[in-house]
Amino acid sequence: MTTTRLNPIPRRTALLIGAIAFAVSPLLSGCYNGPDATTTAQSTMNSGNGTQEVVGELRIENATLVTGPEGSMSGTLITTLVNTGRVPDRLIGIAINGAPAYVTPGAGELAPGKAVNFGYDGDFWVNSYDLDITSSSYVPVVMQFERAGTLAFSVLSVPPTGYYEGISPNPVSAPLQ
């Protein structure tokens, strides 16, 4: 009885195959989807983690509407406005769900390279006192800036619980005009 012996793969060939497999494994793993990756696209959609928008050289970051206390028909827009430009700009008006919103006096000045926080970890507030919305719905917001122009977008409304607990309109009721 004769036994046939298989020729072993030469050591150099085995090392070459291993090196090629190692080199192409990142390409085959699917970890990178480029600029259209779901995680990249999500930041431009209303995901519940705040809406991101850009108008001119201004960025609106993490915009979310926190509804006021039960039965109050009020709400606070929490967001951060960032001026990435070299010239100042100014927030001159906001409408929430079609009605003008109250903005803390002096809050609209946006210095170059600076950010202004509204409603959370900030001294400024954007409040609406005549909201007829349900929580967890998308609400239209229009922001008007002196230089950058007007931007319309939608934000998610959330109840003042969990992460948003303690966020409420300041002042509590609409100031007299």
Question: Tens digits of per-residue pLDDT, 86-113?
Answer: 999 999 999 999 999 999 888 889 999 9
Separation of alpha carbons 14 and 16, rounded Å: 5
Separation of alpha carbons 124 and 115, rounded Å: 12
DSSP annotation of 120: S
Higher pLDDT, 147 or 13: 147
Question: In terms of pTM, does the model score above 0.85?
Answer: no
Q: Looking at the predicted structure, is the pLDDT value of residue 151 above 80?
A: yes
Architecture label for domain 43-164: Sandwich (2.60)
Cβ atoms within 10 Å of 122's Cβ, excluding its own: 15
Q: Looking at the predicted structure, is the pLDDT value of residue 4 above 90?
A: no
